[in-house]
Amino acid sequence: MELAVIGREDFCLGFSLAGVRNVFETESPADSLGKVFENAGVGVVVFDESLAEKLDEFEKAKIEASVMPVFVMLSLKEERDDLKRMIKKTLGIEL
């Protein structure tokens, strides 16, 4: 299983330096999403939450419903409710 990262240049820089090979620096994430879904080796996608507003409703629904790969939204803001929702979706239980 591989890790992929989709985000702006400043978001992706640390992942690139850490050796992540599937890094997609973009301002419009739609094309990068297609590449990630085509790559069967990708198991986890770290997604820049600030780009989520640029997605249409179909793309947002596809990300939320995706089991493989799992999408993890990261943000500079502290949002505990979103983290709880992701844990519940992934594990099936509420912590």
What are the C-alpha distances in Å from 67 to residues 21, 23, 27, 45, 47?
A: 21, 20, 25, 11, 15
Q: Which residues contact 31 (CB under 8 A, 6 or more apart)?
A: none
pLDDT tens digits along 47-64 = 988 888 889 999 999 998
pLDDT above 90 covers a percentage of the chain that reads 46
pTM score of the predicted model: 0.77
**2-91 carries CATH number 3.40.50.10580:** yes
User: What are the residue ranges spanned by the domains of the chain?
Assistant: 2-91
Q: φ and ψ at 13, to 5 degrees?
A: -55, -50
Least confident of 41-45, 60-64, 68-72, 83-87: 83-87
Handedness of CA 4, 14, 58, 94 (dihedral sign): positive
